[in-house]
Amino acid sequence: MESSNLAALPEENVEEQNNQHQRQEVASAFASVPHRPATQSSLQKYSPLDWKDYFDQEDDIKIPDSNDVSSGLVFHVYMAGTEGPVVFCLHGGGYSGLSFALSAGKIKEKARVVSMDLRGHGKSITENDLDLSVETMCNDVLAVLNAIYGDSPPAIVLAGHSMGGSIAVHVAAMKKLSSLAGLVVVDVVEGTAMASLIHMQKILSSRMQHFSSIEKAIEWSVKSGSLRNIDSARLSIPTTLKYDESKKCYVYRAKLEETEQYWRGWYEGLSEKFLSSPVPKLLLLAGTDRLDRTLTIGQMQGKYQMVVVRHTGHAIQEDVPDEFASLILNFISRNRIGPHGAFAIIT
């Protein structure tokens, strides 16, 4: 991923630190709130797009608190498609469910898509947005799946990017999802992630922190290199921000810098958990340098399918959404994952 990434995460590739200074120069033009208004052409080029062109509906999934039914949790989800297995998408830290919007527009032609705003992100509401422990987030995912599908869930493919990839692996390892039919992990590897944790606070603090408008935030995300697809940025960036009345500007919705105590838990033992999952597995990487020893051996033994997606950054599903969607659908077809747990080839 890019070290000046709008959604920088603890699996930051250490080798990319060497290019940080160069990237900061690119971002420096946006390092403070501009005093002059954006031009009309800029506003149009970086204006937000409507998710309704890609997802079919959005919903708030209410999870009652076991102690207080009136409070509980509210998780925001986006849904698309009417047939086929469910591709349940989990975004990375600092992103939102709309990170999969462009991809969902293609995947829904042959499968269903549900993309969830994780705790502390997007439009989801919890009493403790800073509890990003792997246990809490896994329980959140299982609670949402249970609320949507009850005791008869369809075949489900968990697809997680970055932090969401680690959550997907841990959910699979819990063996509480009876209809789990596939596991897709996007650009997160235990070895690289663990080695880079010591750099993360510096990386997070080096990001631009305030934006005078949503358009400026979208523009910065593209020009800094954190996202390479303007349309995806126009869809996903707005829900990663919130307006701060006291500062009169937009700031990050997710307070990742305050969740450091949980980072190690996301990634410790991740490779072994991934390899031990009995369902078909797909690992999508932006570069082969991300592989650690455990995964390298597992890949040589044919324990999972790996695809290196070229010419993309950390957010593969956003940078090349059509290719990402094709890889997901081919994975479903190749493993004959059907809509109700039965095997049926998607054509």
Cα distances from 297 to residues 76, 271, 293, in angstroms, run 38, 11, 6
Closest CA to 55 of 114, 2, 10: 114
d(CA 301, CA 151): 35
Catalytic residue among 96, 117, 124, 187: 187
Angle, to 10 degrees, between the axis of helix 260-267 and the axis of helix 134-149? 70
Could you confirm whether 314 is annotated as catalytic?
yes
Catalytic residue among 162, 166, 213, 236: 162
Could you confirm whether 162 is annotated as catalytic?
yes
Q: Where are the alpha helices (DSSP H) in the chain?
A: 20-27, 40-45, 101-107, 134-149, 163-174, 190-196, 200-206, 214-223, 230-236, 260-267, 270-276, 293-300, 316-319, 321-334
Closest CA to 6 of 322, 260, 315, 317: 315
Cα distances from 263 to residues 28, 78, 107, 193, 259, in angstroms, run 28, 26, 31, 9, 7
Cα distances from 275 to residues 28, 118, 155, 264, in angstroms, run 42, 24, 20, 19
The two structure tokens encoding residue 53? 């062109």
Catalytic residue among 121, 161, 199, 314: 314
The radius of gyration of the chain from alpha carbons, rounded to an integer in Å, stands at 19
Are residues 145 and 153 in contact, defined by beta-carbon separation less than 8 angstroms?
yes
Catalytic residue numbers, as ranges = 162, 187, 314
